[in-house]
Amino acid sequence: MKKGKTLGPKVGFLFALPAAIYMLIFVGYPMIQNFILSFKNVDVYSFADASKQAFVGFENYKELFSGGEAILTTAIKNTLIFTVASIFFQFFIGFGLALLFSKKFKGSSFFRGVTMISWLLPVTVAGLLFKFMFASKGGIINQLFMSLHLINAPLEWLLDPKLAMIAIVVANIWIGIPFNMMLLITGLTTIPEEIYESSRLDGANKFQTLFQITIPMIKPAIMSVLTLGFVYTFKVFDLVWVMTKGGPVNATELVSTYAYKLSFDQFQFSKGAAAANILFLILFVVGIFYIKLINDEDEVM
Amino acid sequence: MRKKVVSAMLCMAMAATMLAGCGGNAGTASAGTDSSKKTAGGKEEVVIWDYFETDAQKNMMQDIIDGFNESQEEYEASHVYVPFADYEKQLTLGMASGELPDLVILDGCSMASFIQMDLFGDVSDADIKWDEYLEGPMESTMADGKHYGIPFATNCTALFYNKDIFDAAGMEYPNENTTWEDFHEMAKALTKDGVVGFGNAATGTDEGTFQCLQWLYTAGGDYQNVKGGTDAYNLMQEMVADGSWSKDCVNWTQSDVNNNFVAGNLAMQQNGPWQIPGIEKDAPDLNYGVTVLPKKDADSDQATSILGGENMGAVKQDDMGGATAFMEYYDKTEVMVDAMKQYGSFPPKTEAAQDSYWTDDPIQKEFITQLQTSIPRGPSASWPEYSDALQTGFQEVMTSAKTPEKAAEDTQAAVDKVKASEK
């Protein structure tokens, strides 16, 4: 920080320039275009003829939210359920594994590596695997439950509205655990061993160590995991597209899959853009919250 | 320092994926609007997109292309496979970026949308025998009286029945005189011992609409007049409720239905001729027959079926010579007939379909009969929205979520809304 002050703000801007240009071209431009598109009436009839394209204000947004059974409202609700349920389990399982693998034992680094496989696997592949596993006929999950006598008849996992949501959440939890685990392990390694030693000398038990030392010390890491997790879960598309395509009858429709369907199934490009912008707005708020959080911490440090 | 290394690596990874992305695009980029592209031999390139997956379909495509390339000196055709699930997205993106082929083979019911979006160019002047084509498939390639391509393959669904199950019950096979009432009684009588009388594909996509819509038409309605076909809703709900029409249908695709028919779980199924090669291969001993779909009552005409199949559309560009030449080649009856024998569909020409290969076959000829009362979906540029509204209605009826009257009312309202948005 000291160096920056001596060089003056101009040089600072110079350093930021390449990133700014990159952001403007590859992030700013498409985003602005998308905003403009969402205020127009571009659909299958006006796509080719620019003279028919007109600005319609918030008409697309209004239509998306109109009616008691608006699909977008359902999609936002589904996305929230999907996100919260995924993060809840991802975080706790990830945290447990992080605590386990931060201990040095034989093979700990090997198993830590193996856990990463679900994160390294392309999401579409993972989606396909889960689709097969949740298949109502011949799926391994039904077979397992049947042989354990938990169920009498095969469950139609991806066909029943409630079960389909559970299935995609389970798949997403499996994919997200390593991400949570790795970020938390990195956080754990920053805690100096001396602190644990002194707490032990003070007679702290395991629980006290966990809640008084470990968790407060890695609070920044926990906050990052939760906010980043929220962002990347909220915009999940490929997994759900592969497993259910938002079905049955919109039971697993997320904002992302709905925006895709509007644009590429029904050719309602402006409405699709509007739905994508709703998704963006929600994440934008989360993003601001995250940046503010990081800045506050910087000030503390 | 460590942070910097990580961020540098991230940047590189990002750059690499971007390059890979561009590279991928460049690889699939085809002649597109740049009509000056020449092959090594100095011939002009004609690139065709298709979504054909099976070996039989790929061989068919390659045979047509080889035949075309040998038939003349000016053009050299080749084809690019684009997965069906991504097909329409790729076409839409292609229109935005200009990276398009010369010819597109696509699902007949989505052609109207793409004509509206200005993907295809007018080929009315091409040397093609327009009046030989079946009216329904031909309509789906046209807009405002202009031709934007030709039908490539055509088919429809009909009624398959398992002869062994009928024989065991001592019942007569369904035939062209079977009415809905007869059909319902047959299905009910055959529903026992793990066998369900009838099943079709009623999944929540256009695949479901493709099979369910014919019931609405046969009842006297059409895709814009749902209320006129409320009897179809009545029949569906009654049959599903008494178990003679499988409830699982709401999640079945056409292959699911066929698998259940082949496995002996269904006494009758609604399906198309493209299932026949698979049945012959996997279940050569299956003793089955095919007839036209049941008609409404004794006085009504043969039941309506919905046309399926592909169209070939010529992408709009300055020089459409290559695309036109290829369509003119495919327009030859013998080329079309050879291709369709491999494909398991029917040639979209009235005369070509009269080939003895089809008319002498007891099963195939039933499809030819059914084709005569088959109509296309739409055509409407808003077909995807219509399809969505209609299929929701069928699903609500089959799952008894709504009474037939209520479902008809709501679906009519949804369809009217789409109609109002049409321009």
Q: Looking at residue A6, what is its pLDDT?
A: 64
Q: Which residue would you say has higher pLDDT here, B56 or B265?
A: B265
**Reported confidence tier of residue A299, pLDDT bands at 50, 70, 90:** low
Residue B363 has pLDDT above 50, yes or no: yes
Q: Is the pLDDT score of A241 beyond 70?
A: yes
Residue B17 pLDDT greater than 50, yes or no: no
* A197/B contact by beta carbon, under 8 A: no
B354 — pLDDT class (breaks 50, 70, 90): confident
The answer to whether the Cβ–Cβ distance between B92 and A265 falls below 8 Å is no
Q: What is the pLDDT of residue B10?
A: 41
Chain B partners of A248 at a C-beta cutoff of 8 Å? Answer: 204, 250-251
The H or E element that residue A83 is part of is helix A71-102
Instruction: Using CB atoms, pick whichever of A45, A249, A264 lies closest to residue B88.
Output: A264
A15 Cβ under 8 Å from any chain B Cβ = no
Q: Does residue B385 have a pLDDT over 60?
A: yes
pLDDT at A43: 87
Q: How confident is the model at residue B40 (pLDDT cuts 50, 70, 90)?
A: low
pTM (two decimals): 0.78
Please give the residue that has the higher pLDDT: either A8 or A198: A198
Contacts of B92 in chain A (CB under 8 A): 263-264, 267
CA distances from A57 to A13, A46, A63, A103 (A): 36, 16, 11, 58
Which among B117, B251, B423 has CB closest to A248? Answer: B251
Residue B213's nearest CA partner among B388, B15, B417 is B388
Q: For residue B11, what pLDDT is reported?
A: 42
Given pLDDT bands bounded at 50, 70 and 90, which one contains residue B32?
A: very low
Q: Which domains does chain B have, with CATH numbers?
A: 32-154+309-375 (3.40.190.10), 156-306+382-421 (3.40.190.10)
pLDDT digit string, tens, across residues B269-279: 999 998 888 88
CB pairs under 8 A between A and B: 41
Query: Average pLDDT for residues B134-151, to the nearest whole number?
Result: 91
Do B88 and A249 count as a contact with CB atoms less than 8 A apart?
Answer: no
Report residue A5's pLDDT band, with 50, 70 and 90 as the boundaries: low
pLDDT value at residue B18? 37
- At position B304, the amino acid (one-letter code) is T
Determine contact: A59 vs chain B, CB below 8 A: no
Shortest Cα distance, chain B CAs vs residue A286, angstroms: 23
**Nearest Cβ partner of B251 from A159, A263, A267?**
A159
- pLDDT in the model for residue A266: 86
In the predicted model, is pLDDT for residue B291 greater than 90? yes
**B251 to chain A: closest CA residue:** A159
Residue B43: pLDDT above 80? yes
Residue bearing the bigger pLDDT, A273 or A301:
A273
* CB distance A169 to A158 below 8 Å: no
Q: Taking residues A248-253, what's their average pLDDT?
A: 82
Q: What is the ipTM of this complex?
A: 0.72
Domains of chain A with bracketed CATH: 71-116+169-300 (1.10.3720.10)
**CB-based contact (8 Å) between A69 and chain B?**
no
Instruction: Please indicate whether residue A290 or residue A173 has the higher confidence score (pLDDT).
Output: A173
Residue B9 has pLDDT above 70, yes or no: no
* CA pair distance B125, B314, nearest whole angstrom: 13
CA distance A240 to chain B (A): 14
Q: What percent of chain A has pLDDT over 70?
A: 95
For range B364-370, the mean pLDDT: 92
Cβ–Cβ contact A22 with B under 8 A: no
| Stronger pLDDT, B216 or B29, i.e. the higher one | B216
Query: Which whole number is the average pLDDT over B368-383?
Result: 89
> What are the contacts of B395-399 at 24+ separation with CB within 8 A?
B395/A249, B395/B202, B395/B204, B395/B208, B395/B250, B397/B233, B397/B236, B397/B237, B397/B240, B398/B202, B398/B236, B398/B237, B398/B240, B398/B245, B398/B247, B398/B249, B398/B250, B399/B247, B399/B250
pLDDT at A139: 84
Q: Which residues between 266 and 285 in chain A have a beta carbon less than 8 angstroms from any beta carbon of chain B?
A: 266-267
Burial of residue A135 (CB within 10 Å: 0-12, 13-18, 19+) is middle
Percent of chain B with pLDDT over 90: 62
Q: B105 forms bridges with which residues in the sheet? A: B312
What value does the mean pLDDT take over residues A272-287? Answer: 92
**pLDDT over 70 for what percent of chain B?**
90
- The Cα-based distances of B267 to B167, B207, B263 in angstroms read 11, 21, 10
Q: Which of A48, A156, A249 sits opposite B117 (nearest CB)?
A: A48
Average pLDDT over residues B26-43: 53
Residue A243 reports pLDDT greater than 90: no
Position B133 scores a pLDDT of 92
Q: In the structure, what pLDDT confidence band is assigned to residue A162 with cuts at 50, 70 and 90?
A: confident
Q: Do A47 and B88 touch (CB under 8 A)?
A: no
Could B385 and A159 be called an inter-chain contact, meaning their C-beta atoms sit closer than 8 Å? no
pLDDT at position A155, please?
A: 85
Distance from CA of B145 to the nearest CA of A (A): 18
Q: Using one digit for the tens of pLDDT, what is the confidence trace for A204-217? A: 888 888 888 889 98
A296 pLDDT band (50/70/90 cuts)? Answer: confident
Residue B20 has pLDDT above 70, yes or no: no
Residues in B closer than 8 angstroms to A263, CB to CB, are: 92
Separation between Cα atoms, residue B385 and residue B380, nearest integer Å: 10
Q: Is the Cβ–Cβ distance between A31 and A25 less than 8 Å?
A: no
Q: What pLDDT does residue A300 have?
A: 55
The residue in chain A having the minimum alpha-carbon distance to the alpha carbon of residue B90 is A264
State whether B384 and A265 contact (CB < 8 Å): yes
Q: Tell me the pLDDT tens digit for each residue of A66-98.
A: 876 788 999 999 999 999 999 999 999 999 999
CB contact under 8 A, B204 and A267: no
